[in-house]
Structure 1
Amino acid sequence: MLTASDTFSADYDVAVIGAGPVGLACALEIQRRGRRVAVFDKGALVNSLVGYPTNMEFFSTPELLEIGGYPFPTAHYKPIREEALDYYRRVAEAEKLPLRLYERVTGLAGEAGRFELHTSRGTVPVRAVVVATGFFDVPNRLGLPGEDLPHVSHYYKEPYAHAGQRVVVVGAKNSSAKAALALTRAGARVTLVVRGAALSESVKYWIRPDLLNRIAEGRITALYNTTLQAITPDAVQVLGPDGPQALPADFVYALTGYRPDYALLAALGVACQSDEACTPHYDPESFETNRPGVYLAGTVCGGLNTSRWFIENGRHHAQVIAGHLASRP
């Protein structure tokens, strides 16, 4: 249980870790209930959205991305990345949320009501913690030789620098499909390496036929049932139905998905279940974890099942958590 103590002076009642849309939603709901709150993030405001591809279109309509009751203005049926960056910044400014950006959280000591949050800038006394860190900052690594070479990336931003270049895209879901199409239209020579026998069924219905048509006409080379074995400065080694071969590659995008920051969860004392998704322990009624006073919100709740929670349903965790905290002394 959270406790009040005259001998413990907290800088904040609640520290929210993660300045993404769900973290901001949590902070504003908690602040509206009269609690002192601060939002910590190791990077920029809505850091994950900063890393999204240029002019990326959200799959959701604007009303599903709104937080705090603020309307999301957009000139499109579905908002783009730049509109979202502006929207969430304006919400944070309107609510006057205390933001501690570029301050990495490294650990947590003490007990509920008397926590000491360890960050890259020192120790911050707090009474409760909400973890809304998402998953986009930790890529699923291939574990292959050459993965850390400078022309290899787990994040795709925009295609224009790759005109006339040989680009290998690894993956079979939406991110790799959209990257392959954009790179091709910008003049790159794209090879798509797919571990399975076909594109993932999760590829959106308006993207899938476009990609399949580009493959059928030969503008994109698709290698199915194929895996990367190693990456060199000018090629990738793959293994497919025809055996091993080397593919010339000027750039490599390993778009193989992302995962929660389990090292941070462990440092905060949050345990994970033994299921295949490595789902963190939390009470679905309150979102409080196995460590009293520490809560989870948003996509981090799903563990490796990163498609379970999105902004549109994860934002509602904010009201549940804020209400639960308000019921504590």
Structure 2
Amino acid sequence: MEEYDVLIIGAGPIGMACGIAAQKAGLKYIIVEKGALVNSLYNYPVFMTFFSTSQKLEIGEVPFVSINPKPNRNEAVEYYRRVAEKFDLQINLFEKVEGVRKIGNGEFEVQTSKRAYRAKNVIISTGFYDVPLLMDIPGENLPKVAHYYKDPHLYAFQNVVVIGANNSGIDAALETYRKGAKVTLVIRGAEIGSYVKYWVRPDIENRIKEGEIKAYFNSEVLAITEDSVTIKTPEETITVENDWVIAMTGYQPDFGMLKKLGVKLDGEYGTAPAYNPETMETNLPGLYLAGVVCGGMDTHKWFIENSRVHAEQIFQHIALRH
């Protein structure tokens, strides 16, 4: 069994930042990732533009140079790959963590899909993008339904229903519309989401105003079939012809894994992981949280730019404990 000072679950930007901090502290570490390097960013839409500037996405004091005021997904994926190369980060990709348990000496045993590890400290930096929020409606499991949106070309000249009021849904609606899709936008609330990027909002509002994208507000999808979607609107329940459904209904952390590990979940609905905001340590000594996973269901609280400091906080505390 391989033994480490620190085992980091998740090779996203914050997991990588933790690996860099471990390396600088002279600790033996390993990063374990169930998918590709920066897997969540890899699954972002191909043409997505970040809200943040490139400087705010930097880790390891490595400059992120972009020719645009705000970098795009492809630039970010390349940047983080180069950072991994620069620091020769120890990362095992396509290896899923299946269990973590604390053993008698206070260390952790970690079982993955490929091997077992022992670690003095474990950092969970798994984000939230891997677990979509489901609608639990008939037809949601049909092949035509996507909870992840990548490239608008697939939807050219098709009848597309997009569900969602925030950035992912609005981007999908606009991009597929510009590839010739007939787009119907279904929004549960009364208006476009407040977090929609400021340079995108006028565009979607004008497309709706001009009738180029049909939008149903205060509405919800009730059922999906092979060739139609049933939508409940404030006035009536309607059925529209449909080829594809892009369900941008949001994502959540892997609460099942957190519960299995023994992380205490607070909040009204038990969806806020408990941790010390000064050290990022959970209720289990030696088990830390880093990055957007800390926000639980409040997925608009933590981002790359404001959670990069978690790595420094964690390793300052580990240094004091050891």
For Structure 1 versus Structure 2, the TM-score category normalised by the shorter chain is over 0.9
What is the alpha-carbon distance in structure 1 between the residues aligned to residue 208 and residue 263 of structure 2? 45
Q: Are 1:285 and 2:271 matched, yes or no?
A: no
* Contact 2:186–2:216 under 8 Å retained in 1: yes
> How far does residue 55 in structure 1 lie from its aligned partner after superposition?
2.2
What residue in structure 2 maps to residue 74 of structure 1?
Answer: 66
User: Take 1:314 and 1:202, find their aligned partners in 2: how far apart are those partners?
Assistant: 19
Unaligned runs of 5+ in 1: 1-8
Residue aligning to 2:10: 18
In 2, Cα distance between the equivalents of 1:193 and 1:265?
Answer: 32
Question: Aligned partner of 1:25: which letter?
Answer: A
CA distance in 2, matches of 1:18, 1:227: 34
Quote how far apart the aligned CAs of 1:276 are: 4.4
Structure 1 range deviating more: 16-25 or 121-130: 121-130
Q: Distance in 2 between matches of 1:283 and 1:242?
A: 48
1:274 to 255, 267, 270: 267
Equivalent-residue separation in structure 2 for 1:262 and 1:325 (angstroms): 25
Conservation of the 8 A alpha-carbon contact between 2:99 and 2:111: yes
Contact 1:106 1:267 in 2 (8 A): no
Question: What is the deviation of 1:106?
Answer: 1.3
Report deviation, 1:284.
0.7
In 2, Cα distance between equivalents of 1:235 and 1:205: 33
Does the residue aligned with 1:236 lie in a helix, a strand or coil? strand
Is this contact kept in 2: 1:282–1:289, CA < 8 A?
Answer: yes
1:234 offset after TM fit, Å? 0.8
2:131 alignment partner, SS class? coil
Matching residue of 1:6:
none
Report what 2:81 is aligned to: 89
1:37 equivalent in alignment to 2:29: yes
More divergent stretch after superposition (201-210 vs 136-145): 201-210
What does 1:92-111 correspond to in 2, within 5 Å?
Answer: 92-111=84-103
Post-superposition offset of 1:156: 0.8
Matched to 1:188, the amino acid is: A
Q: Which structure is higher in RCO with an 8 Å CA cutoff and minimum separation 6? A: 1
Within 2, Cα distance between the matches of 1:114 and 1:39? 17
Residue 205 (1) aligns with residue 194 (2): no
Of 39, 49, 52, the residue aligned with 2:44 is: 52
Matched position secondary structure for 2:149 = coil
Alignment partners' CA distance in 1, 2:65 and 2:219: 43
Give the Cα separation in 2 of the matches to 1:107 and 1:190.
43
How high is the TM-score relative to the length of structure 1? 0.95
**1:241-265 per-position Cα deviation (integer Å, ceiling 9, x unaligned):** 2221111110001101110011111
RMSD: 1.3
Give the TM-score normalised by the residue count of structure 2.
0.97
CA distance in structure 2 between the partners assigned to 1:316 and 1:277 by the alignment: 26
Question: Contact 1:149–1:233 (CA<8 Å) still a contact in 2?
Answer: yes
- 2-structure distance, mates of 1:307, 1:297: 15
Q: Secondary structure, in 3 states, of the residue corresponding to 1:63?
A: helix
Match of 2:231 among 218, 227, 238: 238
Matches of residues 1-329 of structure 1 in structure 2 within 5 Å?
Answer: 11-111=3-103, 113-276=106-269, 278-329=271-322
Q: Residue 265 of structure 2 aligns to a residue in which SS?
A: coil
> Structure 1 pair 72/277, CA: closer, same or farther in 2 (3 Å)?
farther
| Distance of 1:251 and 1:288 partners within structure 2 | 43
Contact 1:194 1:223 in 2 (8 A): yes
Q: How many residues align?
A: 321
- Cα deviation for residue 275 of structure 1 reads 2.8
Residues 233-242 or 163-172, more deviating: 233-242
> Aligned partners of 2:310, 2:5: CA distance in 1, in Å?
18
Of residues 123-132 and 274-283 in structure 1, the stretch that sits farther from structure 2 once superposed is: 274-283
Percent identity reads: 50
Q: Distance in 2 between matches of 1:185 and 1:38?
A: 44
Deviates more, 1:27-36 or 1:107-116: 107-116
User: Which residue identity does 2:46 align to in structure 1?
Assistant: T
